[in-house]
Structure 1
Amino acid sequence: MLLCLRIENFALIDQLELEFGAGLNVLTGETGAGKSIILDAIDAVLGGKVSSRVIRTGTSRTLVEGTFTYSPSLAAWLSEQEIDSIDDHTVVISREITATSSNIRSRSRVNGVLVNRQIMAELRDRLVEITAQGQTVQVGQSAQIREWLDLYGGDSLIQQRQQIAAAFGAYQQAHLTLEKRRTSERERLQQLDLLTYQVQELSAANLDDPQELEQILQERERLNHVVDLQQMSYKVYQALYQNDDETPAAADLLADSEATLNDMVEYDAQLQTLLDLVRDAQAAVVEVGRQINAYGDSLEADPQRLEEVEERIRELKQICRKYGPTLNEAIAHYQSIQKELAQLNDSEQSIENLEQQEKAHFHKLTQACQKLTQLRRKAAANLESRLVSELKPLAMEKVQFQVEIVPTSPTAVGADKITFMFSPNPGEPLQPLTQIASGGEMSRFLLALKACFSQSDAAETLVFDEIDVGVSGRVAQAIAEKLHQLSQNNQVLCVTHQPLVAAMADRHFRVDKQIITQSKGKKADNGNAEQRTVVRVTNLEDLNTRREELAQLAGGKSANEAIAFAESLLLQAANHRRQKIT
């Protein structure tokens, strides 16, 4: 319940503090007096959309603060949001709106804690619900009607919707996976062909040794220079071991040196080390001479092998150009695409399997939707009966009402399109509510609809903005009694022009505009003190002032007949309340 509303610099309001109570709270006043500004402030403090126009001219900061009663369910929710309580009785919600050169900034607090829009939206649903005749658009929206019907259906219906949301999410994921696979199937097949060709080509190349290209290049050089290598090896052999001309070979010279050093050692043993080195050198030269001779003898021209080597070199270089640039990188690429090819050939995620998965999820979703439709039809039947019973006292004794449920494609909220069908006059066929209901009929419908939710409504405060527009006489009296009925279970705030409704109020506030002289010596351009328009609200606690306000609503002036009519309204309202109590 809204206990107190404090407003600073909001539209035409400079400063205002209102204290509301339980039961029916009514705001009256001339058209344009500022009644809707107060409801706009309530909407703003609970996170509603605002623009720079809400900031009072000449100021840069707006503050709206609402104090609400503290219920156990609200306390539990605030605890989940890690918002500490101020006391055990009230929760304070504030919103500060400031203007900058380019935009506006808004900050919302709950018990002094900064909160975001999502938290404010959840909190709003727990505190206040605003209903206006302008909700005709919502009544024509299948989504809004569905929400109303599901809320009326209770916990079992809401739980079934949650199951459908989960089933729809699973189906959508399976569908997206399948579509993605179908979309990429052509690319997959093209990639499969490419990788298959590459694997076959690399496999046929027998790539085992990363050093093969270097080794075979060396072999080609040897085969291309066999004659040169034979000649040079023979030359080395002659120089080291056996020379054909008279010039001694290195082995011969080392043999002579060995003999001389051997004689010298007989006279000086210190030369033994040098003698050993010469002997080792001679042995090494002899060994090299023999090996180089054998090497030269082994060399022979092999045109066929040279051709094979040239072909292999061309093959390996081609492989390197395509998959390299080095042979080592080409081998690594071969190993990588073998794994990728295996993944592309994986049959576990075939299109057929994905289609089966999608079909299974869709079947589960449709079954859940069918169950939800059954629950909705049951709730619709109850709502039809209840709403008609609520409309009959509102001078609509012959009204017909039906909740039409038409199958649609499954979604996250079911597979139903829901329309409110309405016929206010006997003999007329049912038609969509928004196409046939007049303004007065729509007002009564919205009020009756809210009455259907009064026992289970999560919000403790119900706000009605001129819900009685377009009605008078007996219908206005019926609306007044319905609002009073609602106020027995919920706090009701109502903006009205109807004296019949205002007379039923537990608290009556008059809203009007006043012109004040600007304080602090400010002057207008003409040199006179600046005057400003402000909204003022008076709590009509005194019986005489309230009677005069009702007379103004009824007759436009405080004539004797109007005063008498106002007194009769107050007496009638008092009698109605006593009858309800007894």
Structure 2
Amino acid sequence: MLRALDIRDMLIIDRLELGFQPGLNVLTGETGAGKSILLDSLGFVLGWRGRAELVRQGAEQGEVVAEFLLPEAHPAHAVLAEAGLPGGAELILRRVNTVDGRKTAWVNDRRCSGEVLRQLSETLVELHGQHDDRGLLNPRGHRLLLDAYADHDDMIAATRAAWGDMSRARKTVAATEAALDEIRAEEEFLRHAVSELDALDPQPGEEAELDVLRRTMQGAEKIRGDVARAFDLLGSDGAEGAMGDALRWLEGVADRAGGQLEEPLAALSRAMIELGEAQGGVEACLNGLEFDPSELERIEERLFAIRALARKHSVAPDDLAGHADTLRTRLAALDAGDADLEAQRTALKTSEATYDAAAAALSEARRSSAGALDAAVMAELAPLKMERAVFETKITDADAGPDGRDAVAFTVATNPGAPSGPLNKIASGGELSRFLLALKVCLSGDDSGRTMIFDEIDRGVGGATADAVGRRLAALAQGGQVLVVTHSPQVAAKAAYHWRVQKQVSEGQTLSTVVQLSPDERVDEIARMVSGDTITEEARAAARALLTG
């Protein structure tokens, strides 16, 4: 509910503080007094797009503050939480417009964007008028209005769940088909590559081992010649023989050398032992350097084959075995993919059938509810002197979506047999106002949390019809809040709270003010609306009759 509106330096308003109440609130005044400026100012603080020049001439900036009371379950709480803004039972919106066009907004003293204001406004205020394209005249919202009227929440939830399941199943099938198509495109390559890798069977570390063997065998011939010559020099015809002869000669004369040869003999004995170990090692090396030339050829062929496959698959030689496992896995996926795809297609058919059933049930319920809504609106049109008009909720096929596959549009025909069409294309100003009011009365079940504003919705009607309009506006205001800008005395008389918008000239400036009327002042204002500028006693009597009627 809108509790207060504070306007400063906007258009022809210098300072205005208004306090609104639950129920039916009306604003009256002569044409041009500034009633539309109040709506412009409220729309500004709510983030609506409107006039470009709003700052009062001579002021540096204009400012509007709107205070709302929020029940505990009000949808504005969710918007505040999503935007990270402070909440509570009170919601204070403040927006400033500087003379150079810059706009700044606050929600509960926290800076916010105009988009957040607009999201909040959708939950706070509902504006209805002949030129409003955000409310009942917008065909894009007619399906939502019909569903809200008929309480289709459970069926819509079931349809959305089925749509979600079907969409996920379609994505799964598409992804599997794409993956299988990709694998099939390279199936021949995969099978050849796996066969080639299996035939070679490369092992981790094998390439390095083969490279060492190859290098060793390539240089073995030269190495073996040098080692063999060294072995010969160490043998009996070389160092071993010479050292043996020296040892025997020294041993033969040692007992006559007075002990001087004991240490040399010991050293020679040790040298003979070391020499023997050297001979054994060199001999082992010679034996190891012996190789079959065909073995070198085999090693080179395998080494080159491993390296060629590694280059072909752009992997390291040691990773060939793991790469082969990866290719085998892809082939296995191809072999098993057809079975998986068939199962996924079966699941998709099931989800499509579930969605079809849910969407069909929702369509049937909408068609049934459309008839009930049409009958309810027609019943409201009769007291509004439009008993010959025809209101029809048309449902046509639309592309399937999460909310079913129906397009809903409210159409009217002003006379039987006349062609029907959209509300704002067929009805005249007064007729459109009454259509909108009748429709709103039928659709107002869940609007207690919103402030409904009707901008001259009674234009073009009078007498008993205007009285019927006023009664329906009063009924809409029960348990909620309705603000009406009106020129109709019959509508003004039904208000619980009455404000008069008036202009006055102060120091050469025209300013607009708003005053709340006392009971006596209401009589005079309604009398003015009945008779014009000259208020007669007859007009006052008529005003009192309207107020008590």
Give the TM-score range, shorter chain. 0.7 to 0.9
Aligned to 1:557: 533
Distance 2:431 2:266 in 1: 130
Count of matched residue pairs: 542
1:547 to 1:575, Cα distance in 2 relative to 1, 3 A: closer
- State the partner residue of 2:23: 23
Deviation at 1:209, TM superposition (A): 4.6
User: 1:287 corresponds to which residue?
Assistant: 280
1:278/1:500 Cα in 2 relative to 1: closer, same or farther (>3 Å)?
A: same
Deviation at 1:308, TM superposition (A): 3.3
Determine if the alignment matches structure 1 residue 235 to structure 2 residue 229: yes
CA contact (8 A) 1:27 1:35 kept: yes
Is contact 2:26–2:492 with CA below 8 Å preserved after alignment? yes
- How far residue 17 of structure 1 moved from its aligned partner, in angstroms, is 0.4
Task: Name the residue aligned to 1:573.
Answer: 546
2:166 to 171, 178, 183: 171
Name the structure 2 match of 1:536.
513
Following superposition, the deviation at residue 208 of structure 1 comes to: 1.7
Counterpart amino acid of residue 107 in structure 1: W
Q: 1:72 to 1:571 in 2, by over 3 A?
A: same
Task: Give TM-score, length-normalised by structure 2.
Answer: 0.84
Partner of 2:90: 91
**1:380-405: CA deviation from partner (whole Å, max 9, x where unpaired):** 23222221111111011233323222
* Structure 1 residues 208 and 411, CA gap change in structure 2 (3 angstroms): same
Show CA shifts across 1:294-330 (max 9, x none). 567x556x4x445434433432332233245742244
Classify 1:96/1:567 alpha carbon distance in 2 versus 1 (closer, same or farther; 3 Å).
Answer: same
Query: Secondary structure of the equivalent of 1:131?
Result: strand
The whole-number CA distance in structure 2 between the counterparts of 1:104 and 1:547 is: 41
Contact in 1 for aligned 2:493/2:546 (Cα 8 Å): yes
Counterpart residue type for residue 312 of structure 1: R
What residue in structure 2 maps to residue 375 of structure 1? 365
Conserved? CA contact 2:227–2:286, under 8 Å: yes
CA distance in 2, matches of 1:569, 1:194: 97
1:39 matched to 2:39: yes
Instruction: Using the TM superposition, give the Cα deviation of residue 16 of structure 1 relative to its aligned residue in structure 2, in angstroms.
Output: 0.8
CA-CA distance at 1:210 after TM superposition: 2.1
Q: Is the 8 A contact 1:251 1:282 kept in 2?
A: yes
Deviation string, structure 1 residues 232-275 (Cα, Å, up to 9, x no partner): 443233222154xxxxx122234346557865995576668735
Match of 2:7 in 1: 7
**1:153 aligned residue:** 150
For normalisation by structure 1, the TM-score amounts to 0.79
Shift in alpha-carbon separation, 1:447–1:313, aligned structure 2, 3 A: same
For residues 264 and 542 of structure 2, the distance between their equivalents in structure 1, rounded to whole angstroms, comes to 147
TM-aligned CA deviation for residue 146 of structure 1 = 0.9
Distance 1:435 1:344, change over 3 A: same
2:79 and 2:220 map into 1 onto residues whose CA distance is: 92
3-state SS of 2:407 partner: strand
Q: Taking structure 1 as reference, are residues 279 and 569 closer, same or farther at Cα in structure 2, changes over 3 Å only?
A: farther
Deviation digits for residues 77-127 of structure 1 (CA, Å, limit 9, x no counterpart): 589959565xxxx62422233559785332222xx5667778766754554
TM superposition shift of 1:131: 1.3
Shift of 1:342: 4.0
Matched, 1:197 2:197: no
Contact 2:234 2:275 in 1 (8 A): no
In structure 2, which of residues 450, 458, 470 is the aligned counterpart of residue 480 of structure 1? 470
Maintained 8 Å contact 1:387/1:452: yes
The AA in structure 2 aligned to 1:497 is H
Provide, for residues 333-389 of structure 1, a one-character-per-residue CA deviation record: whole Å limited to 9, x for no partner: 434444454445542884433332322222211211222223323322322222111
Contact 2:59–2:99 (Cα < 8 Å) also in 1 = no
- Give the Cα separation in 2 of the matches to 1:299 and 1:376: 92
Q: Structure 1 pair 209/269, CA: closer, same or farther in 2 (3 Å)?
A: farther
Change (3 A) 1:395 1:80: same
Local SS of the residue matching 2:131: helix
Deviation (angstroms), 1:495 = 0.9
Question: What pairs up with 1:232-271 in 2 under 5 angstroms?
Answer: 232-243=226-237, 249-256=238-245, 258-259=247-248, 263=254, 267=260
Question: CA separation in 2, counterparts of 1:371 and 1:387?
Answer: 24
Corresponding residue for residue 388 of structure 1: 378
Match for residue 401 of structure 2?
411
- Separation in 1, partners of 2:246, 2:44: 116
- Listed as ranges, the matches of 1:79-478 within 5 Å are 81=81, 85=88, 91-97=90-96, 99=98, 103-109=102-108, 124=121, 127-135=124-132, 139=136, 141-154=138-151, 157-183=152-178, 185-212=180-207, 214-215=209-210, 218-219=213-214, 222=217, 226=221, 228=222, 231-243=225-237, 249-256=238-245, 258-259=247-248, 263=254, 267=260, 274-275=267-268, 277-288=270-281, 290-291=283-284, 294=287, 298=290, 302=293, 304-323=294-313, 326-343=316-333, 345-347=335-337, 350-428=340-418, 430-478=420-468
CA gap of 1:120–1:285, structure 2 versus 1, over 3 A, is: same
Residues 534-556 of structure 1 deviation map (CA, whole Å, 9 limit, x = unaligned): 3311223263x545544554555
Please state whether the residue corresponding to 2:337 is helix, strand or coil: coil
CA distance in 1, matches of 2:393, 2:201: 76
Q: What is the DSSP-based 3-state SS (H/G/I as helix, E as strand, rest coil) of the residue aligned with 1:538?
A: strand
Q: Say whether the 8 Å CA contact 1:131–1:465 is kept in structure 2.
A: yes
Task: Tell me how far 1:565 sits from its aligned partner.
Answer: 5.8
Is the CA contact 1:516–1:532 (under 8 Å) kept in the aligned structure 2? yes
Question: In structure 2, do the counterparts of structure 1 residues 257 and 62 end up closer, same or farther at CA, with 3 Å as the change threshold?
Answer: farther
CA deviation after TM superposition for structure 1 residue 207, in Å: 0.4
What is the CA deviation profile of residues 12-59 of structure 1, one whole-angstrom value per residue up to 9, with x for unaligned ones? 333210122343222123334321221233334445446764444555
State the shift of 1:467 in Å. 0.8
Contact 1:136-1:434 within 8 A present in 2 as well: no
One-letter code aligned to 1:252: G
Per the TM alignment, residue 502 of structure 1 is displaced from its structure 2 partner at its CA by 2.7
Decide whether the 8 Å contact of 1:465 with 1:494 is kept in 2: yes
SS, match of residue 394 in structure 1: coil
Instruction: Determine what percentage of the aligned residue pairs are the same residue.
Output: 29
Q: CA deviation at 1:501?
A: 2.4
Describe the SS at the equivalent of 1:26.
Answer: strand
Residue identity opposite 2:387 in structure 1:
E
Contact 1:265 1:271 in 2 (8 A): no
Conserved? CA contact 1:152–1:453, under 8 Å: yes
Q: Which amino acid is the alignment partner of residue 383 of structure 1?
A: L
Distance 1:260 1:532 in 2: 144
